[in-house]
Chain A
Amino acid sequence: MNTMITAACIAGTVLGGAMASAQDIPSHPREIEFEALEFMPPEADEFRHELSNGVPVYMAPSNEFPLVDIRFSFKGGGYLEPDDKAGLSAMTGQMIRTGGSSMMAPSELDEEFDFLASNVTVGVGATSANARVNTLTSNLHRTFELFMDMLRNPRFDDGRLETLRGQALEGLKARDDNGLAIALREFSYLMWGEDHHESRQPTRESLESITTDDLRSFHEKIFHPGNLMIAVTGDFEEQEMLAFLEEQLSGWEVRPEAPDAPAPTHLYKPGVYYYEKEQPQVQVLVGHRSITRDDPNAIEAEIMNQILGGSGFTSRITNSVRTREGLAYTAGSFMQPRVDYPGIFASYFFTKTPTTALATRLVFDEFERIQNEPVTTDELETIQNNLIETFPRNFESKDAMLGIFMNDERTDRPEGYWQSYRDRVRAVTPEMVQKAANEYLHPEDAVILVVGPWEEIRKGNADSEADPNRVATMEEFFSGQATKIPTRDPESLMPIED
């Protein structure tokens, strides 16, 4: 100990005695006093501009690096696919990017972007599509011209379509190789139904049926200024950029905005479901449909989820399944609200076969506890402080900040949401958390999905030497009733007889 103190003191002398010596070190971090951190969330209006065709442009310049990043975000996505064309949306995005433009063949265009060292990406997701350019400032004009031609007049080259289709078809073969991928797919089917855009999957048949005409008509539905918002960050001058975008987008026909994504109509049956797969570790998801993003109680529901399983090591499920019992490396829960319809709540963990039932029981114990007892003030304050203190991180990078603004505008986030966020977090009480647990957790209406060797999972650790309090079998859930999900052919996803 002596040497340490001396070392610190010597260093202190060198610095003119300004520093603390070891004796000043508090015995616990709760005794440290911190300077207050001032932070006000930025207002979207201060960054928002509009082109003459009505396209919103959010801009936040910064000249630390000689790079410019321009992101186009379009309303529309997988939900606009015709029913028998699953995979068309993703394929359209990839084909816009790789299929050439009116001025250039695919390989010429790729070559040009690569030589300019410009990163150009296009992707179509479930509800929105993105096209993005990240380029050196010096190469902006050339890159952006090529980008606009590609986006407005994609060539959809036949050879590239066949290459992509071939890659996608090979990818299908691997769909049953990974237990977690199976678990997520089947859980999604159970929650949304197999035909909803949240869960729909391409098949060999649907991929083989996609033609360039399909690509063209899908491109027309989404990629036009009527669906567009733009975010620009990096090294540029605002007025110049606005004039540049105005010029580059001129003459691009503005068509009507895409419709909203449809809500699912599927109803699921609570119970235990299993998918047979020979593997040394079982993936488990326990969950049900949950709430919408703008639900008036969304904040306490999220705090409840964080205490339950959503905040890593600090949450109860991780504590009991991983830290205390050593049954899993990954264990927790998530609450995923949706804007237009209720989202999903689920708890998840991966454990060895015989302890699947035991870990499931521990999770159900935690559901019960958070419904029956108020959470402690310690737990609640930890989560409240975390949400409040990490709040600035939402706006950490300019790119993330503009992303929030665009999303809020598109989804009509209620006015003042960010400004009042921390006060609303602070106002949550243990009683409100308990109420949320009772209102938004429904263990009796949950689906328990397991992927693994069912006979062994079902038996649990009944024939082990574990102490009697740590013995469990799957018989204890839903009166031992379980539904087999038929094994699917990885390419067609149709059930196969076995």
Chain B
Amino acid sequence: MRFKQALTLAAAVILSTSTAQAQNVQPVEYTLENGMKFLLMPRDEQPNIITAGWIAPVGSANERPGITGVSHLLEHLLFKGTDSIGTSDPELDEQYREQLTEIREKMRAYTLDVQYKRMYAGEIENPWDPANDTDELRAMRAEMTALQDKQAEITIKNEFDSIYTGNGGSGMNAGTSNDFTVFYINIPSNKLELWSWMESDRLLDPSYRELDAERFVVIEERRQRLEATATGKLDEQFDSMFWVASPYNWPVIGWMSDLMAYTEGEIKEYFETYYQPANLTGVIVGDFEVEEAKRLVDSYFGRIPNKRPKAAPLVTHSVPLLGELRFSGECDCQDQVEVRYRSVPHGHPDEPVFDVIADLLNGRTGRLYKSLIEDQAIAALASAGNRSMRYAGSFSFSALPKGGAELSELEAAWYGELDKLKTELVSERELQKVKNQAAADNFRGLQDNSSLFFQLAITEAYGGYDYLNEYPKRIAAVTPEDIQRVAQEYFEEHERAVSYYTRRGGGEIELLTIDDVRASLPEEMAGMMIPQIEAELANLKSETDAEALRAQIEEMDAQAGMVPPQFETAMRFIKQQIQVRIDEIESGNVEGTEGGDQ
């Protein structure tokens, strides 16, 4: 088999610095009359099993304000059945759906008018929350619930899933990203026709059944993934700030307001535009016969019509950062810092260079471990990563401090590493090490059907699967000069975004003590300053005006730039003690001498 020979050949030269032979992944390409493309990749290493799925090159980047998150909600709704799947009475079901659409539109119009005005007037916080319903809205909601309960009587819950389950399907799922939406499952190798039936059926005529309940499922998913995680909500805002104009500036799952607002019409239009067959690629990997697969996809997927003109390409692209952006927030999380830069989109000639830079920095023999974790011992974890998406990319450094290290020290240490990349050429041996690893990892990534499936599907959605074969060659061709050039060109001070997350009420765990201050001062000064500081702190205990203390902190902040570096710890300590006193006063605990954060 050609595939295998090419791979073996690549291995033979893997440790030489000369031109490395790339892998050659060659699926059978097959395009239907309606334009739907298939990549067929028979493999017999894992007998009896197929991983099959399809991908649409559409994700949150294709959305607009007002419908953010619709790609992801649609992905959920495509498991809700069709006229044939999921209902015992398609005609009655359609009637209910029409009635539901009508009442939903009425509620939406009413909410956007009355409830939004109440929100802007400051009367209520969330116009969509049923707890804020007016009598009229409550009546409409009751009508809607009654209809849904009636529809539920003829709904066969999750029939789509149970058909697959009963036929040996496993790992059925789908995923939505900024740039693509992918649906996949593992099936026994005698079930390719079932897969063709099920997938073409849902592409032909999805029902969007249970839209309203699914909205709440997605809202719970949003809570689970973002709001109930340590850093989720802050990450979302940092991302949003970082991307400025680009449609990557809203979360894939969507803003909460929009999740409540989509109409069935909007969802349907979105589906018909982006999920028409000419826009889709099917991928089948595993134990199957190519001719049989062609026959099946022809008859099943070939029946899906293109209903609308081709989707318009994305217009708004990202604009460069014109200054340093800084973001700080508190969460129930470990203190952490991230420094993020714009890198390049998928397929850009500099993408492999960014990936190699990340490899040089990461791992136990990487530069970050050696420098930040071992030598300077200021970080518990430190890593870098490049993420080249379809239309733009980002490169991040992130780290968690160790012990009492400050986030600013980690940030400074990162700039030190960057300077090295900018001023010194990487040694041949260091570069060869990461190239060797990249080459071996390429094989590792091809061993498993589902991993191969994702690589084929995603690179195809990004512009062409052949990049899978091209990319390793480009990695092998990266030179020390490329690395230096990219470091100099992209990692600029005025084109970065920096985030500091600190633990909510974090002073409690790492409060500075007077001993820390003593240790931070030159000896001759400590003798003089410590008694002074102690006297000032004693005065603090009689102060009861929190506002006056706040003003004091503000004044200190305003002068912070003028404070010599050796006094920084002392200043922080004084500010900390003032804050402690403010907290005491405001919690009514004015007699206390111990600081509290509640």
B12, B295, B439, B441: most-surrounded residue (chain A CB, <10 A): B295
Task: Write out, one digit per residue, whether chain A residues 377-396 have a CB within 8 A of any chain B CB (1) or not (0).
Answer: 00001110110111011001
**A29 touching B163 in the complex, CB below 8 Å, given contacts A66-B11, A136-B11, A166-B377:** yes
A497 CB–B CB distance under 8 Å: no
Q: Say yes or no: is B433 at the interface (Cβ < 8 Å to chain A).
A: yes
- Does B349 have its Cβ within 8 Å of any Cβ on chain A? no
By CB atoms of chain B within 10 A, which of A134, A177, A388, A467 has the most?
Answer: A177
Q: Which residues of chain A (331-351) have a CB below 8 Å from chain B?
A: 350-351
Asked whether B509 is an interface residue with its Cβ less than 8 Å from the other chain, the reply is yes
Q: Is B577 positioned at the interface, with any CB of A under 8 Å from its CB?
A: no
Considering the chains assembled together, what is the distance between the CA atoms of A146 and B479 in angstroms? 30
The docked-state distance in angstroms from the alpha carbon of A279 to that of B224 is 10
Instruction: Establish whether residues A136 and B14, one from each chain, have CB atoms under 8 Å apart when the complex forms.
Output: yes
Bound together, the chains give a CA A311 to CA B169 distance in angstroms of 11
Q: What is the 8 Å Cβ interface bit string for chain B, positions 182-225, against chain A (1 contact, 0 not)?
A: 00001011110110011000000000001011111110110110
User: Which residue of chain B has the shortest Cβ distance to A349 in the bound complex?
Assistant: B220
Contact string against B for A residues 17-36, beta-carbon threshold 8 Å, 1 for contact and 0 otherwise: 01111101111111010111
Task: Decide if B365 touches A28 in the complex (CB within 8 Å).
Answer: no
- Find chain A residues with CB under 8 A from B268 CB: none
Residues of B within 8 A of A386 (CB): 165-170
Q: How large is the interface on B (under 10, 10 to 19, 20 to 34, 35 or more residues)?
A: 35 or more
CB neighbours (8 Å) of A328 from chain B are 217, 220
Q: At the interface, yes or no: B325 with Cβ under 8 Å from chain A? A: no
CB neighbours (8 Å) of B218 from chain A are 329
In the complex, which of the residues B223, B224, B229, B509 contacts A173, with contact meaning CB atoms closer than 8 Å?
B509
Asked if A107 CB lies within 8 Å of chain B CBs, one says yes
Tell whether, in the assembled complex, residue B220 and residue A329 are in contact, meaning their CB atoms are under 8 Å apart.
yes
B477 within 8 A of A: no
Beta-carbon contacts of A248-285 to B below 8 Å, as 1s and 0s? Answer: 00000000000000000000000000000001110000
Chain B interface: which of A113-121, A213-221, A239-247, A430-438? A113-121
Cβ contact of B186, chosen from A62, A114, A393, cutoff 8 A:
A393
Q: Decide if A427 is an interface residue (CB 8 Å cutoff).
A: no
CB of B365 to closest CB in A, whole Å: 5
**Minimal Cβ-Cβ distance residue in B for A498:** B598
Q: Are B334 and A138 in contact (CB under 8 A)?
A: no
| Segment from B44-52, B313-321, B518-526 that makes contact with A | B44-52
Contact B380 A313 (CB under 8 A): no
- B295 x A20 contact (CB < 8 A): yes
Residues of the A chain whose Cβ atoms lie less than 8 Å from the Cβ of B229: 178
Cβ B440 vs Cβ A67 within 8 A:
yes
**Residues in B284-338 with C-beta less than 8 Å from chain A:** 294-296, 298-300, 302-305, 331-334
Asked whether, in the complex, the Cβ of A323 is within 8 Å of the Cβ of B220, the reply is no
Say yes or no: B48 contacts A37, CB within 8 Å. Answer: yes
Listed residue (B163, B302, B402, B509) with the most chain A CB atoms within 10 angstroms of its CB: B302
The segment from A8-16, A46-54, A72-80, A125-133 that touches chain B is A8-16
The answer to whether A159 has its CB under 8 Å from any CB of chain B is: yes
Say which residue of B47, B158, B296, B439 sits within 8 Å of A314 (CB atoms).
B158
A297 to chain B, nearest CB (A): 23
Give B569-586 as 1s and 0s: 1 = Cβ < 8 Å from A's Cβ atoms: 000000000000000000
The answer to whether B12 and A138 touch across the interface, beta carbons within 8 angstroms, is: yes
Q: Name the interface residues of B215-243: CB closer than 8 Å to any CB of A.
A: 215-218, 220-221, 223-224, 227-230
Judging by beta carbons under 8 Å apart, are B304 and A4 in contact? yes
Contact of B2 with A by CB under 8 A:
no
Select B299's contact among A21, A393, A397, beta carbons within 8 Å. Answer: A21
Given contacts A27-B84, A67-B444, A352-B223, contact A114 B188 (CB under 8 A): no
Residues of B contacting A20 in the complex (Cβ-Cβ under 8 angstroms): 295, 299
B531 close to chain A: CB less than 8 A: no
Assess whether A64 is in contact with B302, with CB atoms less than 8 Å apart: no
Bound-state CA distance A322–B79 (Å) is 13
When distances are taken between beta carbons in the complex, the residues of chain A under 8 Å from B48 are 37, 39, 392, 396
Residue among A174, A313, A350 making CB contact with B161, cutoff 8 Å? A313
B31 shortest CB reach to chain A, Å = 10
Do the beta carbons of A3 and B14 come within 8 Å of each other? no
Q: Does A374 contact B (CB under 8 A)?
A: no
Contacts of A28 in B (CB 8 A): 84-85
**Bound state CA distance, A88 and B557, in angstroms?**
45
Once the chains bind, are B224 and A313 in contact (CB under 8 Å)? Answer: no
A281 touches B437 (CB 8 A): no
Is B303 within 8 A of A8, CB to CB? yes
Residue A59 interfacial (CB < 8 Å): no
The docked-state distance in angstroms from the alpha carbon of A217 to that of B476 is 45
A177 pairs with B161, CB closer than 8 A: no
Instruction: Please report the C-alpha to C-alpha distance between residue A119 and residue B364 in the assembled complex, in whole angstroms.
Output: 12
| B124 CB-CB contact with A under 8 Å | no
Select A8's contact among B172, B302, B377, B441, beta carbons within 8 Å.
B302
B-chain residues with CB within 8 Å of residue A467 when the two chains form the complex: 142, 145
Q: How far is the CA of A3 from the CA of B32 in the complex (A)?
A: 13
Query: Within 8 Å CB of A322, what residues of B?
Result: 217
Contact B161 A25 (CB under 8 A): no
Q: How far is the CA of A27 from the CA of B85 in the complex (A)?
A: 10
- The reply to whether A32 and B363 form a contact with Cβ atoms under 8 Å apart is no
Q: Which residues of A contact B122 (CB under 8 A)?
A: none
> Smallest distance from the beta carbon of A107 to chain B beta carbons, Å?
7
Is the CB of B422 closer than 8 A to any CB of chain A?
no
Q: How far is the CB of B16 from chain A (nearest CB, A)?
A: 11
Q: B305's contact among A3, A34, A136, A311, by CB below 8 Å, is which?
A: A3
Indicate whether A117 sits within 8 Å of B436 (C-beta atoms), given known contacts A32-B197, A329-B220, A392-B48. yes
Question: Would A34 and B304 count as touching, CB distance under 8 A?
Answer: no
A366 at interface, CB cutoff 8 A: no
List chain A residues, Cβ under 8 A from B299.
8, 12, 19-22, 24-25
CB distance B198 to A29 under 8 Å? yes
B389 to chain A, nearest CB (A): 25
Closest to A34 in B: B190
Whether the pair A319, B188 counts as a contact (CB closer than 8 A) is no
B220: contacting residue among A36, A174, A352, A390, CB under 8 A: A352
Selected from B84, B214, B332, B334, the residue in CB contact (under 8 A) with A326 is B214
Query: B-side interface residues toward A, CB under 8 Å?
Result: 4, 7-8, 11-12, 14-15, 32-34, 45-49, 79, 84-85, 130-131, 133, 138, 141-142, 145, 152, 157-158, 160-163, 165-170, 172, 186, 188-191, 193-194, 197-198, 210, 212-218, 220-221, 223-224, 227-230, 294-296, 298-300, 302-305, 331-334, 363-365, 370, 373-374, 377, 380-381, 400-403, 429, 432-433, 436-437, 439-441, 443-444, 446-448, 503, 509
- 19 sampled A-B residue pairs with Cβ under 8 A: A10-B33, A15-B294, A19-B296, A29-B194, A65-B443, A65-B447, A115-B432, A163-B374, A167-B381, A171-B380, A280-B228, A313-B158, A326-B214, A350-B228, A352-B223, A386-B165, A386-B168, A397-B46, A464-B130
Give residues in A with beta carbon < 8 Å to B: 3-5, 7-8, 10-12, 15, 18-22, 24-30, 32, 34-37, 39, 62-67, 98, 107, 110-111, 114-119, 134, 136-139, 159, 163, 166-167, 170-171, 173-174, 176-179, 279-281, 311-314, 318-319, 322-330, 350-352, 381-383, 385-386, 388-390, 392-393, 396-397, 464-465, 467
Given contacts A34-B193, A319-B157, 9 further A-B contacts (CB under 8 A): A5-B303, A8-B302, A11-B298, A25-B300, A63-B4, A66-B11, A115-B433, A326-B217, A382-B165
Closest 5 CB pairs of A and B: A389-B168, A326-B216, A313-B161, A170-B380, A117-B440
